[in-house]
A and B are shown apart, each in its own frame.
Chain A
Amino acid sequence: MARTKLSDDRDLTEEQRLFKESLLEWAERNMPLDRVIKMNREGHPYPRELIKGLADLGVIMGTVPEERGGMGLTWKDQALIAEIIGYIDPSIATAAGFMAVETGWGFTIDRHANDEIRKKYVQPAIRGDKFIGIATTEPGGGSDVANFKCTGEKDGDEWVLNGEKTFISGVEEAKQIGGGYWVNVRTGEKVPGAAHKNMTAFFVPIDSEGLTPTEPYDDAGRNSISTGGFIMEDVRVPEEYMLGEKDKGFYYTMEGFDNARILIGASAVGVTRRILEEAADYIKEREVFGSPLAKYEGIQFEFVERYTEMEASRLMVNKVADMQDTRYDEEGWAERSGKAKTYSPTEIAKWISMIKYKVPHLAKDTADDAMHWLGAAGYSSEYIFETAWRGVMSYCVGAEGGANIQKIVIGRETLGKDYVPYK
């Protein structure tokens, strides 16, 4: 029996269709579902040859301009790529490491870094030879980003950094193949009532003296990529390794979160679609009480509801990707086809928050439903559903911004600033 297909490629451009073909063919050869399950069972670090394979395919940091090693792709293109990555790896580990972190944050690093960092770290990361990531979260605050405690002090033409970062993706991978992190530190007296004000961003190479990785966590899911952290004890970085301008770190961080979240939203669409397709194949075949599961309304209606939500999510992601393209178009960063409307950053932030809270939850709920349809089989790691459920939970509870924080952002943009619960 032919496998269920739940995608409509009519809206894709010729190139996008070819991207999709190439990615799916690569996945069939290198990362079929049983390998995804195996990788999650065996845990991090993420296999080196797959990092290289993904890079050779060209999926990492495609939105970086061509003249700096990227491909000058639109966010629409990159969102499609992220969707397929989510489809290929429903544990969302690959999207976590290589879409959210390396592409979303990596692109942002490239925007604010000097040429040396671009040459030594960003471009090799695009080629799969290094890993670059983001370190904002600390033991004292993740959602409360402004309440950060890491410090940076100027000493001659260097900055000395101290503090601990936690729940950081990819540290083990970066340690293995080389790379570095965007690290936020406080570079002045904490301003009362405006704790975000003196945040400065630095690029810190992973092999810097004084930087010690901490023990990786034993996470519920997305185990093929590491979640760990590091401690900085008088880590020295040259002045030129400051990303952008001093004290502007918070704003770059908001930008980085936006870029990562779009790709999370997109990949979660792919995860949901894969869950539905795999589940559909099962419920069409498996018979109980004389009929295939798919014939029972209780199951069929749930399936259909999730499918509808998935298509709705995809439309939202498309809209956000288009908005994102105008944002960067305005700032003249890369060539984009002309768009009629431009959006304010807060409007874009609202939409990004919508997809960031909605789609991972949809993926989780769909996996949950699928496990119910399959019963004991769904609970086992023979199928992808429990692996997917455990993986996408990370984006519901906190990774790249907890859902509840996203809702506050949306609340602010819909009900108004007066109703924001806290600063």
Chain B
Amino acid sequence: MDEETGTIIREGVPSVLNAFDEFALNLAVELKNEVEEDVEIVALSMGPPQAKEALNKCLAIGADRAVLLTDMVFAGADTWATSVTLSRAIKNIGKTDIVFMGQEASDGNTAQVGPEVAAHMGIPQLTFVTEVESVNNSHVVAKKETDEGFVRIKCETPVMIACMPTPGFEPRIPNIREIMKAKKKEYQEWSHEDLGGDPSEYGLDGSESVVIKTYSPPPKGEGIIVDDEPEVAVKKLMDFFEDEGIL
């Protein structure tokens, strides 16, 4: 049920909850606890049916509702097709104030889906966010990492926030009570038919970048390993430096 401030939405990944997404969800739950108005957190994921488990965990951590976009049509999507799929689902879900995402996924590591979803939704983006200081009906204030350090930035909502965990971040552990409560929360599965549009817009067909080959990285050549007393070992290392012309 949509409430006064509307919904906060989070995107997850299949099967195992990826650390960045888990951080994003933790941020959303923390915010929900701080804000006075009623807030709904919807956990959204695109993946195979097994992804239900990860969404279950999201419900236990504190999401109020979960939606899994699952359909063979969605398979093989690159970041473009994924962001098309997600943004349409978010539109279906309803009025959104913040779209939380993990900065990157532990398999693809592209970190692109967030900004691309923001583009499709026509909303601003904040990436590499480590902290959300406050949120109200019109703005968020967040701290984000830059190449030089950090900035504190204010942005109008609705906004897409891609989150990056700080070192030493420990995610909330859902307790047994919360796990049991999660059983009663709403969980839905949607296919491409629920989103509309043409099947060719999704999945492999809808992708703009194509993987033509995957392979193992070339192995590094055998190195020299020594197991000696410090005097001997260090001498051997200095010899190596000399041979290679280092120093």
**A residues in contact (CB < 8 Å) with B:** 14-15, 17-19, 21-22, 25-26, 29, 56-59, 62, 71-73, 81
The one of B52, B170, B175 in contact with A22, judged by C-beta atoms closer than 8 angstroms, is B175
Chain A residue with Cβ nearest B176 = A58
List of B residues within 8 angstroms of A73 by Cβ: 176, 180
Contact A18 B175 (CB under 8 A): no
Can you list, as one digit per residue, whether each of B36-63 has a CB less than 8 Å from chain A (1) or not (0)?
0000000000000000110011001000
List of B residues within 8 angstroms of A25 by Cβ: 173
Contact A14 B177 (CB under 8 A): no
**B residues in contact (CB < 8 Å) with A:** 52-53, 56-57, 60, 170, 173-180, 182-183
Contact B57 A56 (CB under 8 A): no
Contact B173 A62 (CB under 8 A): no
A62 to B178, CA, bound (A): 13
Contact B176 A17 (CB under 8 A): no
Chain A residue with Cβ nearest B181 = A71
Contact B170 A18 (CB under 8 A): no
List of B residues within 8 angstroms of A58 by Cβ: 175-178
Contact B53 A62 (CB under 8 A): no
Chain A residue with Cβ nearest B171 = A25
List of B residues within 8 angstroms of A56 by Cβ: 175
Contact A14 B173 (CB under 8 A): no
Contact B173 A26 (CB under 8 A): yes
Chain A residue with Cβ nearest B56 = A14
Q: What are 25 A-B contacts defined by CB distance under 8 Å?
A: A14-B52, A14-B56, A15-B179, A15-B180, A15-B182, A15-B183, A18-B56, A18-B60, A18-B179, A19-B176, A19-B179, A21-B57, A22-B176, A22-B179, A25-B173, A26-B173, A57-B173, A58-B175, A58-B176, A58-B177, A59-B176, A71-B176, A71-B177, A72-B180, A73-B176
Contact B174 A18 (CB under 8 A): yes
List of B residues within 8 angstroms of A57 by Cβ: 173, 175-176
B190 to chain A, nearest CB (A): 20
Chain A residue with Cβ nearest B178 = A58
B39 to chain A, nearest CB (A): 23
A178 to B180, CA, bound (A): 29
The one of B57, B174, B176 in contact with A62, judged by C-beta atoms closer than 8 angstroms, is B176
List of A residues within 8 angstroms of B170 by Cβ: 29
B189 to chain A, nearest CB (A): 15
A72 to B140, CA, bound (A): 40
B177 to chain A, nearest CB (A): 5
A56 to B172, CA, bound (A): 12
A47 to B170, CA, bound (A): 22
A15 to B180, CA, bound (A): 7
A131 to chain B, nearest CB (A): 19
List of A residues within 8 angstroms of B183 by Cβ: 15
List of B residues within 8 angstroms of A81 by Cβ: 176
A159 to B162, CA, bound (A): 65
A371 to B182, CA, bound (A): 43
Contact A18 B177 (CB under 8 A): no
A71 to B176, CA, bound (A): 8
Chain A residue with Cβ nearest B59 = A18
A382 to B175, CA, bound (A): 31
Chain B residue with Cβ nearest A58 = B176
A72 to B53, CA, bound (A): 22
Known interface pairs A15-B183, A26-B173; 12 further A-B residue pairs with C-beta atoms within 8 A, sorted by A's residue number: A15-B179, A18-B57, A18-B182, A19-B176, A19-B179, A25-B173, A29-B170, A56-B175, A57-B175, A58-B175, A58-B176, A62-B176
Interface centre among B52, B56, B175, B178 (most CB of A within 10 A): B175
A242 to chain B, nearest CB (A): 31
